[in-house]
Amino acid sequence: YEDAYQYQHVFAPLVKMEADYDKKVKESQTQENVVVRWDIGLNKKRIAYFHFTKEDNEARLVPGDELRLRLNSSAYANLSNSDDAGWSAVGHASKITANEEVALELRGPQQVGPWDINHGFT
């Protein structure tokens, strides 16, 4: 390369393409009928524990990855007596054990949620 500008001009699009591909692969990973165990961490945030099977996924789940946990609308509507479209929360994987159990620390204070429900999550 003649200079740093040429180097950046060549590699920046490649790095962006790889990042976009990784994002697409991770967003396409879903798992149905997840069984969740709830806990509260020392920092008072809700933690959802569940098993995330790898199967043939291209991308590995690592601590720090962002995940969304959802409960379908019918299960949550029965719980909250509302017509909501369901419940969902975003968090990051704070721990992944050898037996594929993920500890998902939910973002922000979660005052209302399906803390008594353990089945039916996605």
Q: Going from the first residue of the chain to its last (122 residues), give the mean pLDDT of each consecutive group of 10, the final group possibly shorter.
A: 92 95 82 90 92 70 88 64 72 90 88 85 88
Q: Does 9 share its domain with 65?
A: no
Phi-psi region of 44 (alpha: psi -120 to 50; beta: other; left: phi over 0): left
Q: How many CA atoms lie within 13 A of 61 on its CB side?
A: 28
Q: 88 with 54, same domain?
A: yes
- H-helix or E-strand spanning residue 19: helix 4-28
Q: Which domain holds residue 8?
A: 1-30
Give the pLDDT of residue 23. Answer: 83
Q: Indicate if 40 and 25 belong to the same structural domain.
A: no
Q: Are residues 37 and 87 in the same domain?
A: yes
Number of domains in the chain: 2
Statement to judge: residues 18 and 49 lie in one domain: no
Q: Examine the domain organization and report whether 19 and 75 are in the same domain.
A: no
Q: Which of 90, 39, 34 is nearest to 67 (CA)?
A: 90
- CATH number, domain at 91? 2.40.30.230
Same domain for 44 and 19?
Answer: no
Q: Based on the fold, state whether residues 51 and 86 are members of the same structural domain.
A: yes
For residue 67, give every residue at least 6 positions away whose Cβ sits within 8 Å of its Cβ, in sequence order, or none: 61, 90, 91, 92, 93, 102, 104
- Tokens 């962006």 sit on residue: 16
Burial class (CB in 10 A: 0-12, 13-18, 19+), 48: buried
Q: Looking at residue 27, what is its pLDDT?
A: 77
Q: What is the pLDDT of residue 59?
A: 63
Q: How far apart are CA 86 and CA 97, in angstroms?
A: 29
Q: What is the pLDDT at residue 81?
A: 52
pLDDT at residue 78, rounded to an integer: 57
Residues 106 and 66 in one domain: yes
Task: Examine the domain organization and report whether 103 and 44 are in the same domain.
Answer: yes
Residues 73 and 24 occupy one common structural domain: no
pTM of the model: 0.73
